[in-house]
Chains A and B, each alone.
Chain A
Amino acid sequence: MFLSVENIGLSYQTAERETMAVKDVSFDVKEGEFVSIVGPSGCGKSTLLSCIAGLTVPTTGQIIFKGRPTDGVREDVGYMLQSDNLMPWRSIYKNVTLGLEIQNKLTAENEAYAQSLLKKYDLWEFKDSYPSRLSGGMRQRAALIRTLAVKPDLLLLDEAFSALDYQTRVNVSRDVYRILRAENKTMVMVTHDIPEAVAMSDRVVVLSKRPSVVQKILTLPFGRRRDPISVRGHGRFQSFFDAVWKEMNI
């Protein structure tokens, strides 16, 4: 299996108490698949993603990616957080190559790849601009290219669009969907927006409320070549929304 999340449990320790957010969560992700994780707030879904990224150590269980257990940040996993986090003191080009810089991979070949992404996704003319001059959607695209530039095999999106207004959000999620499918990436996305999860993913993992377990895994029939906006008008879209909604509220 490409990615295995095996019996992950997560407890937060504070001076007052121990809170168990995740009790026991397991699921697999196939190569090239788009999996969303949804669940009630406080169910630990973001921390679960942070575990897959290697930024947080789970209390129990393990993550196995490409046959190797994750025990820290790994260069083959890309992680995108809520809001773009572009650095205002760096030009778009410098922002996009930040990951390459940190990983000491600023080779001519990698830079050429970053440049090709900028060209392909309509940011080339802004490469010398600073983030403050770009719209929310463009900034999100730049952030995505920054993640893609280091050529991760797995992409993690943590509420990546929730800082945007609704219209931008829907448009950006289509942009991002197209880019990620075109680059043939494997993705795990955490969101609280059920329509977003249904519109974009191949499977939706529904977590129960805290301490969470996997409530249900739904497989969606819309295919890889869908349009994440027009699929919302698909005859079966509503029934999947209802199914996720029902599982989440048990």
Chain B
Amino acid sequence: MNNTRYSRSRYLRAVQKEKRAVRILQLSIVAGLLFAWEAGTRLGLADAFIVSSPVRMFSMFVTMAGGDLARHVMYTVGETMAGFFLGVAMGFGAAVGLWYSPFAHKVLSPYLVVLNSLPKVALGPVIIVWAGAGISAVITMALAISLIVTIMELTHGFYSTDANMMTTVQSFGAGKWECFKKVVMPYNVPVLFQSLKVNIGLCLVGVITGEFLVSRAGLGYLIVYAGQVFKMDLVMMSVVLLGFIAFLMYSAVSAAEKLAVKIINHI
């Protein structure tokens, strides 16, 4: 008994140790890259005017933070959230419809496939004309990029629901809607979150693309503007900030998933 407890604690220590090593190495990679970048520009290996540098980015961040950086971030985050929630709601609704009517699914499948492989940026001019040059165009672009994928993933998940579980509820006389509520939906919670994770990233892509094309605010706008006036510090700072925002959003969805899976699956 003592022996097993000892090996258990040894196992846990080893797991902890590995976790720590991974984290330390991850941080070292970032620190190393930043250091090499800064050192490279200081030593004249690269021109800081062209490639910027961590210190210049940081001072740009401090300058901008006193100005309207917050407004740009709010625009980008707000548009992404709007696109995300709209996309999830519409995608979920469409997927339920396509599950409910296999006939509609058969009819519409090829259209989904075509829309899915179409590069949505090509729709840019159409979107600007139809939705107007502003926030609505940006959100529409986010939707254009994320919606089809959501529909396809959810529909596939719904159709892959365990057949025996379905027969079990059907044998109690459950109708189609009841099957959905009692089996299909709870069974597909992991699929739903998987698609949310993909969705949040795609929405951000859509928003930045949209901002490139039309807007007067947001990080995408900032990047294009700074590129045109050759402020590489501002371009790089915005890109890094964008990466940070993407990471935070993904983490939020991931945390929500862990919670939901815990509540629903009781593992």
Contacts and interface: CB of A to CB of B under 8 A. Distances in A.
Nearest to A74: B173
Contact of B174 (A82, A85, A102): A102
A75 B173 CA distance: 7
A35 to B, nearest CB: 19
Q: SS class of chain A's interface: helix, strand, loop or mixed?
A: loop
B202 to A, nearest CB: 28
A83 B264 CA distance: 21
Interface in A64-89: 73-75, 78-79, 81-83, 85, 87-89
Contacts of A83: 164
Contact of B167 (A75, A81, A132, A150): A81
A55 B186 contact: no
B164 to A, nearest CB: 5
A135 B263 CA distance: 22
Nearest to B266: A130
Given A89-B264, A132-B266, A102 B164 contact: no
Contacts of B162: 85
B182 interface: yes
Contacts of A78: 171
B181 to A, nearest CB: 10
Contacts of A85: 162, 164-165, 167-168
A99 interface: yes
B172 A98 contact: yes
Given A87-B186, A98-B182, A73 B170 contact: yes
A101 B172 CA distance: 9
A133 to B, nearest CB: 9
A234 to B, nearest CB: 34
Interface residues of A, number: 23
A53 interface: yes
A39 to B, nearest CB: 21
A32 to B, nearest CB: 22
B169 interface: yes
Contacts of B173: 73-75, 102-103
A250 B210 CA distance: 73
A53 B169 CA distance: 13
A79 B168 CA distance: 8
A99 B182 CA distance: 11
Given A102-B178, A102-B182, A87 B171 contact: no
Contact of B164 (A73, A82, A91, A101): A82
Contacts of B178: 102
B4 interface: no
B267 interface: yes
B228 interface: no
A150 B186 contact: no
B7 interface: no
A89 B266 CA distance: 7
**Could you say which of B168, B186, B264, B266 has the most chain A C-beta atoms within 10 Å of its C-beta?**
B168
B209 to A, nearest CB: 38
5 contacts: A75-B172, A82-B164, A85-B162, A87-B182, A102-B182
Given A55-B170, A98-B182, 20 more contacts: A53-B171, A74-B173, A75-B172, A78-B171, A79-B171, A81-B171, A83-B164, A85-B165, A85-B168, A87-B165, A88-B265, A89-B186, A98-B169, A98-B172, A101-B182, A102-B173, A103-B173, A130-B266, A132-B266, A150-B172
Interface of B: 162, 164-165, 167-174, 178, 182-183, 186, 189, 264-267
Instruction: Report, nearest first, the 3 A-B pairs whose CB atoms are least far apart.
Output: A79-B171, A130-B266, A99-B172
